[in-house]
Amino acid sequence: TGRGTTANLEEIVIGRCNDYIGLKNPAAGKKNCTLLWQTLKSVFASKDPCKITQDDYKPFLTMAEHDIPSGKSIFWSQTGELTRQYADIVKNVMPLESTLTGYMLNGLNWCGQRSSSELNYEVCPAWNECEENAAKSFWRSASVVYAKKASGEVKVVLNGSSQTRAFRTESIFGSIELGNLDTNRISSIQLWIMDNLSGSDKESCGVGSIAQLEIALKHKGFKFSCIDNYRPVQLIQCIWMPEHKSCNICPKN
Ligand code: CV1
């Protein structure tokens, strides 16, 4: 079992919603944050937390929908924290977590219980405990909506030091987002393969699972390019390891 519903979930979700539409992204337009919360809560309250489907979230996702500017879509796998930090700094990309739905729920836990209309603040299913758990179905469903909207030049940030593979067909990126990208809306796809500074360089552009992804993109008819250790993102990694040799602005030798 995993952690229970985040304490004060209602206040956090409604507060984040108002922060988002009022301050962070007024371009999202008018939304009724209280109604959004009620619609969200009705998806999982009074229900078995392992029987929440992707479809159950559709009314909530539709109500929260807003435009994503062309060229701002950025996908990630095993690089979530780094990608969010990059997005918060440069502000010219908008990952799912910087859209209204993702912003409202990022980092939170939530689930209900069949026996009561109270949310379960004690325990929720762990991510891999059951396929249709409240959180997993949300991120999958939100990822479909997000991927369908991508247009212009799209970015994908993958982990070149992954213990498994950088591109995993079973990940949300590999199994959901990739298949929902629209060739007619997207002009090109840029892959950024980021190695951990002190990790091993296991995979790179054109190598291993990245090569498989490149072939898949080609077959689908996308124009794409690939950059190893894209410097602006690497400089964020460097904040925690400024003395690392990859972080030297003027290498001495
Ligand atoms: N996405 Br807090 C997927 N999972 C998310 C997201 C999110 N936006 N936000 C959170 N999670 P992994 P992936 C949680 O690193 O390829 C979307 C989930 O608990 O293997 O499966 C994004 O748009 C999930 O288990 O990446 C992104 O492009 C874990 O973080 C893509 O789906 C991410 O697992 C990433 O999903």
Q: What angle do CA 156, 138, 110 make, to 5 degrees?
A: 125
Across the range 65-94, mean pLDDT stands at: 98
Mutate which of 172, 178, 180, 192 to test ligand 1's pocket (most atoms within 8 Å of Cβ)?
A: 172
Angle between the 231-238 and 80-90 helix axes, to the nearest 10 degrees? 100
Question: What is the DSSP-derived secondary structure letter of residue 163?
Answer: S
Closest atom, ligand 1, to C-alpha of 159: 15
Other Cβ atoms within 10 Å of 211 Cβ, number:
15
Q: Is the pLDDT of residue 253 over 70?
A: no
Task: Quote the pLDDT of residue 204.
Answer: 97
**Residue 155 region by backbone torsions, left for phi larger than 0, else alpha for psi between -120 and 50, else beta:** beta
Distance 140 CA to ligand 1 centre (A): 8
- The residue whose C-alpha atom lies closest to atom 5 belonging to ligand 1 is 139
Distance 70 CA to ligand 1 centre (A): 22
Distance 139 CA to ligand 1 centre (A): 7
- The residue whose C-alpha atom lies closest to atom 8 belonging to ligand 1 is 96
The model carries a pTM of: 0.95
Name the H helices within 48-97.
Answer: 58-64, 80-90
For 38-73, the pLDDT digits (tens) are 999 999 999 999 999 999 999 999 999 999 999 999
Task: Quote the pLDDT of residue 252.
Answer: 62
Other Cβ atoms within 10 Å of 246 Cβ, number:
15
102's tokens: 């993702």
Q: Are 96 and 172 in contact (CB under 8 A)?
A: no
Closest atom, ligand 1, to C-alpha of 107: 2
Q: Are 103 and 24 in contact (CB under 8 A)?
A: yes
Q: Is the pLDDT of residue 125 over 60?
A: yes
For 190-247, the pLDDT digits (tens) are 999 999 999 888 999 999 999 999 999 999 999 999 999 999 999 999 999 999 999 9
Beta-sheet strands, E only, within 28-138: 74-77, 123-124
**ipTM for the assembly:** 0.94
Mutate which of 73, 139, 177, 196 to test ligand 1's pocket (most atoms within 8 Å of Cβ)?
A: 139
